[in-house]
Amino acid sequence: MTTYDYDLFVIGAGSGGVRAARLTALGGKRVAIAEEFRVGGTCVIRGCVPKKFMVMASDFSHQFHTAEGYGWTIDAAFDWPKFLQVKDVEIARLSGIYVANLGKAGVDLVHGRAVLKDAHTVEVTHRDGGESQTITAEKILIATGGRPWMPTDLAGVEHAITSEEAFHLPELPKRILIAGGGYIAVEFAGIFAGLGVETTLIYRGPNILRGFDDDVRAHLAGEIEKRGIKVILGCQHASIEKTATGLVNKLENGMEIETDVVMFATGRVPHVKDLGLETAGVALTDKGAIQVDTLSRTTAENIWAIGDVTDRMNLTPVAIREAVAFHETVYRNNPQHFDYEGVATAVFSQPPVGTVGLSENEARHACPGAVDVYVSRFRPMKYAFTGSDERMLMKLVVDGESQKVVGVHIVGPEAPEMIQLAAIAVKAGLTKAQWDATCAVHPTMAEELVTLKDKQQPGNMSAG
């Protein structure tokens, strides 16, 4: 019988890899994990967590404005270097907790870049340039995540940054242009605008947040413009030129916009480059993600893959659930696959978005009969004294036949917090009547969700 150094070797100590490694080691297996950058992965080091801190830092300006409507006098100033310093201390603390938890579970942490040499062997090149190490394992789990994509053939693209550098800008720019229409682009546009940076968002598509409900897309585009973001749609870069005074963004429509920073948030790709996948018999999909079956097994019999590298649903809680399913399947004789339906998500734009289930368009394709739509737009109570014309959007999408609420879409303050709870009801398949039977909490914004009475009439439906 072949003996291996480890029962399981995990490549990548991010959301998915860390969870799988810990569970498996706690179950008594010999486990090692390799990390080429910092333990915690994208979410902790350069994704969800630092992003949310930046959103919270930025949102104060709006809260100060609201407070003035209530009689406060506020003379506020923002200190970017101080913020970066406290943020980085907290990120280091969180990363340290991940390292400690791996240690407590008995996982061996190998600092360095792991490359597959064959289906059971990895070579880890240490970060500090020391000798590389060859390690064998019975099973291997690839959890290498994703990395930002930029149009490399664009003239001047070398002057642009991605979200990774946006977390560490040496100084806060006066002007920024962000290219992209996905959630990362919209979130960073909100962050910089809230911090007082003159912010332009350009996106080549007809509206931001492709794939979201059309009412959400239209509503949010309007709301972020109210917060001072200049949104240019249906347009992309022709080139970027560095001048003595900044970066000149030449757009395909002939516009020229000079900024101090240009950020591309034009998508992410699976992190598979030079990983040695071919030598181990691990195939990729047409889109360059690791090909897996429903149980996360790759085309190599003893190798599994989870998280963003498989490009299924690129979210931290999903990577964690895929890790749990992997562990149950492989080490507990309990085959499991994650259920991708009814996963709630948030966009931490300003105002934020919370969404779960089907968009109206998706429901019209998925539901056998009619689709009932309930929409409410209103001014949140807290803006009563600010003179603000900001509006909240709440939308319920209901399967006309079963009367189940199949989609909930919210744009406005606290939407991410609300959607987490609404997701329980959607996942449980509750009907509109059951939502309505739930007594309101007054006065709140969320009460609107259980008091929506007027079905949208067919002539008044959202486009598409």
Going by their DSSP bridges, the two strands 175-179 and 146-148 should be labelled as unpaired
Residue 219 designated active-site? no
CB of 320 to ligand FAD, least distance (A): 8
Q: How many CA atoms lie within 13 A of 120 on its CB side?
A: 9
What is residue 364's three-state secondary structure? helix
Neighbours of 267 (CB within 10 A): 14
298: which 2 tokens? Answer: 């790759």
128 or 454: CB nearest ligand FAD: 128
Q: What residues make contact with ligand FAD under the rule CB under 6 A?
A: 11-17, 34-37, 41-43, 47-48, 51, 113-114, 143-145, 163, 184, 271, 275, 307-309, 314-317, 319
146 or 246: CB nearest ligand FAD: 146
Q: Got the DSSP string for 84-125?
A: HHHHHHHHHHHHHHHHHHHHHHTPEEEEEEEEEEETTEEEEE
- DSSP-derived letter for residue 109 is E
The closest alpha carbon to 393, from 373, 410, 372, belongs to: 410
CB of 348 to ligand FAD, least distance (A): 6
CB of 188 to ligand FAD, least distance (A): 8
CA–CA distance, 373 with 76 (Å, rounded to integer): 43
347 or 373: CB nearest ligand FAD: 347
CB 122 within 8 A of CB 36: no
CB 323 within 8 A of CB 19: yes
114 or 422: CB nearest ligand FAD: 114
At 80, which amino acid appears? Answer: W
CB 134 within 8 A of CB 125: no
337 or 455: CB nearest ligand FAD: 337
Query: In which order are the strands placed within the sheet that holds 256-259?
Result: 237-242, 247-251, 256-259
CB of 394 to ligand FAD, least distance (A): 21
Catalytic residue ranges: 442
